[in-house]
Chains A and B, each alone.
Chain A
């Protein structure tokens, strides 16, 4: 898989404040790549540098091995974080206008706008002014405008922000469809679930610096896993396993059974926990290992404060 987009040592400073610092990563052709980070991590500044809207203070961006020129950027679709459209234009005209600015001929741009709007259920209202659209509809139009000229690389900055769950699911489907068509999709988000569901690889940034780059499974492996356990009678599982280095916390009691919560760290897996339980002859009635979430991986990688900012 060859490289579609590469950032090397990207740095952006606004006066004394550094928004992005020495950030390097590469996006492979055809993959869905997520840029994750808390608010203020430098995601939008990074995205704006990737499309040439913001000039980096240092470092460089290449797309398909070439520097950012008008011709190169014609192959890129971009949805900015701060988005909007001409409110007095119809959705059809707006999509066609932006596609024409990207070099599509007028007839083809309008045809493409009609196709996209129809496919997204907006065919009947495509000639209505955008100011009459709901926020979700307008945002859908803007996403369509970013892909109308059939770019090789699609860069979406916080595309799920402000969308209801139904529209979020629709957007996820659209992103998958674009990737299935061979396009490279790069999007930023601070909602881990979207990245977990969609991304082949992710980049975690915090304070403008790279915290992690790799596949979702690699990120998950870095997160502590947990397990839920139940024991019969008055057996003190926490005390029995403490000597073996396990961190077990009581989680309640019901019908003569005790519930326990185990947090597995430092590479210790659920198999080792189960072996230890057998060794101490714990009267187990339930052993339920749980898969770590990307959010937990994120907490582990960037720390609790940054994770809380992301949720906010």
Chain B
């Protein structure tokens, strides 16, 4: 044990002494936060997209313009609702009622803000200041052909701004035809907004012809059955499924990807570590003092300690944030998703899956490293190892669709897949006995792989067998 501990400690301090470790430790949470908040922040800071509306009938143009105004109001409503969930949940009902009662967007925002100012002034500093996603501007030309120069960036509007898109509503013998022109080919939301508004208007028109007034038409349009999903298992006494019950499944997917990337990157560290040691030509010296198995276990534990250090810091940070979110944001979407991550079965599955998965894949990568003479050779071998590691990822989508499907159940007892399948199945009613059983299977398999890896390691390092050639 003394030699193993010495090897593990040396490797541990060698890794944490490298600048890359500290970069990972500090930057990973920042990058994760940036990836989470960044798109939202970017979408909010993006200036409104300018749209021009052309229509043969003025009523169609007014309809489209109103659709964009309604869309902007709906977005503000959602922003304010999310803000109230976290900043002033007790004022949510009154504030949204004031918003709904106002005649237009500006008045609605002012009314909502006034409620907060009066009832929860401490929360006012975070009151959202959204800008509309789309802004309808006067068309610089009444002919769609003339607008093409504005839309492809050759010309700008009189105030210097760029025109993002144009809606052209024509009238044909069968009814209205909507054209959407924009250089951004992958984005069709403006067309969908106008299409829904025109469709509603067409429906109202037809229903009016049959003597149904607008209010009745809107009522008919709003008809919707109540739907509820229930969980029949004894572990769900209330039965009813809400986001709180579904959140662990979403958390499992995210944790699976985190598990995969951490196991893959730490196993990669081991592979590179062995090759570096081979190129440093120190293995012969070490092997007069330790056995290949001790060396292998020491290296595994050293890198495991590096990962544990990262997880301790990230886990503590994430745990505090998730716990705070789960406690403070209660029934909000964020609060329920945060609570999903804190599911004990999921956390146990993640912990067992990480330790066993790391041992299994780490030993495999170590064996690959022992058979490689250079980084180039390792990269070739890594292709095979990556394919092996990609297999469980291919099962994640079917596991989400049905975590208890026969294929997924069977795959969860194949040790190479178990760490990931255990995680995916944990929220789907996996019993503690099964979790413990899979854990035992993985640790048993890890011990076998370790023993085999030590044989390969011995053959590769001591007898100088190589993937590329065999020396004498």
**Residues of A at under 8 Å CB distance from B?**
14-15, 17, 19, 48, 51-55, 73-74, 76, 78-80, 82-89, 97-98, 100-103, 142, 145-146
Contact = CB atoms under 8 A, between A and B. Distances in A.
Interface in B57-79: none
A236 B471 CA distance: 57
A37 B271 CA distance: 36
Contact of B472 (A15, A80, A86, A88): A15
B23 interface: no
Given A54-B463, A97-B10, A80 B281 contact: yes
Contact of B462 (A19, A53, A73, A85): A53
B284 A14 contact: no
Contact of B6 (A52, A74, A101): A101
B226 interface: no
Nearest to A98: B285
Contacts of A97: 6, 10
Name which of B6, B284, B472 has the most chain A CB atoms within 10 A of its CB.
B284
Contacts of B289: 73-74, 98, 101-102
Given A17-B472, A103-B2, 6 more contacts: A53-B288, A54-B462, A78-B288, A80-B281, A100-B6, A101-B7
Given A97-B10, A101-B289, A19 B463 contact: no
Which applies to chain A's interface (DSSP): helix, strand, loop or mixed?
A: loop
Contacts of B282: 83-86
Given A76-B288, A97-B6, A14 B471 contact: yes
A84 B281 contact: yes
B14 A86 contact: yes
A146 B289 CA distance: 11
B287 interface: yes
B3 interface: yes
A151 B472 CA distance: 30
A49 B279 CA distance: 21
In order of increasing CB-CB distance, the 6 nearest A-B pairs are: A84-B281, A80-B284, A101-B289, A14-B472, A84-B280, A82-B281
20 contacts: A14-B463, A14-B470, A14-B471, A51-B288, A53-B287, A54-B463, A76-B288, A78-B288, A79-B285, A80-B284, A82-B281, A83-B282, A84-B279, A85-B280, A86-B14, A86-B282, A87-B280, A101-B290, A142-B285, A146-B285
A189 to B, nearest CB: 18
A53 B284 contact: yes
Contacts of B470: 14-15
Interface in B318-371: none
